[in-house]
Amino acid sequence: MRIAEFNVPCEVIREFALEMTNRTLTNEITGITEDGELEIVVRYEKEEAKEVDKLEEILERLNEDMEEEEEED
């Protein structure tokens, strides 16, 4: 079993959680970072690696979108 760790800002947790659960990946919230982000661990098998890669891309996009919105305000 492989492990991927994600630090997810609270502002995008809803969207990230939806994407994660749509992929039926085993996951758990393990803590909160100093910046207030949720620490999420995803456990997956080798054949699920592409789904985890996609999840990483989605989180990156969500973070970029959030930063752009903050710049506009």
The span from the CA of 20 to the CA of 28, in Å, is 11
Q: What pTM does this model have?
A: 0.88
- Can you give the residue range of the structural domain that contains 40? 2-72
The answer to whether residue 59 scores a pLDDT higher than 70 is yes
Q: Which amino acid is at 59?
A: L
* CATH code for the domain of 36: 3.30.70
Summarised one tens digit per residue, pLDDT across range 31-56 is 999 999 999 999 999 999 999 999 99
Backbone φ and ψ for 37, nearest 5 degrees, come out as -85, 150
The answer to whether residue 14 scores a pLDDT higher than 80 is yes
Q: How many domains does the chain have?
A: 1
Q: Which residue, among 2, 4, 26, has the nearest Cα to 58 in the 3D structure?
A: 4
